[in-house]
Structure 1
């Protein structure tokens, strides 16, 4: 992924995330695995708040089946960051999210990633169509 292609204005939704002291590793920056936690939190916050996803009792849950991240610049506690979120592909039972990490107020991403959710029936773990309310929320984030 090319950093020049990851501008704040390219993302339909921005989610503020608070870095924490323990996010920093021995090298003094946020450890690479922590970015995935930021991505997961931003996506699930959106799904709950905008799509009505019931993570506790709902019949449908999203399973991550694929993920990746490219890193361009370091972040560290106490940086204030925002996660840019957009949808690159919206299928029948799956969605590919495209995400980017921005320091507050900066236009260029420090990192960019993607992950794929497959929505499944909570009881059977079998793929199911994305529920209408959730699909509608995801459709607002689709980029061409």
Structure 2
């Protein structure tokens, strides 16, 4: 697994990106995007990918990935109005879980403003018992896997 303490993480380290515009309401009284919004960006880029490429339907899909761990390292402030380029990669594709790493980049910058970790454990929607990562999900994220 890679080290989130690496300040040299760049755009080229992520195989998939989503552009997310900041909003006026994302800022806190200190004039920068509040830390809780960074986690929202993580959730958005991962789930956008799963909806688009794995056919995830948040209302009906039987096997769902629950977030069991998150982490963020803040490197630079993000402010309004900026566009966040959220990059995602998979550093571990396990039998029942997936470990994602996300890089957030301001506008066209090449070095990350923040880097994070996001872990999904797959469970049955009804029983909440652990299940294997569904094949459709595995197929959708295989292109995101990087060597750790």
Q: Which residue of 1 aligns with 2:39?
A: 36
Deviations, residues 69-123 of structure 1 (Å, cap 9, x unaligned): 0011001111011101000000011000000100121110000000100011000
Structure 1, gaps ≥5 residues long: none
Q: Which runs of 4+ in 1 moved over 3 A?
A: none
Counterpart in 2 of 1:134? 137
Which residue is equivalent to 1:61?
64
RMSD: 0.7
Whole-Å separation in 1 of the counterparts to 2:22 and 2:108: 15
Distance 1:43 1:34 in 2: 14
Matched, 1:114 2:117: yes
1:5-59 Cα offsets, whole Å, 9 max, x none, are x100010101111111110000000011110001001100000001111211111
TM-score where L is the length of structure 1: 0.97
Partner of 1:3, secondary structure, is coil
- Counterpart of 1:100? 103
User: TM-score if structure 2 supplies the norm length?
Assistant: 0.94
5+ residue gaps, structure 2, are none
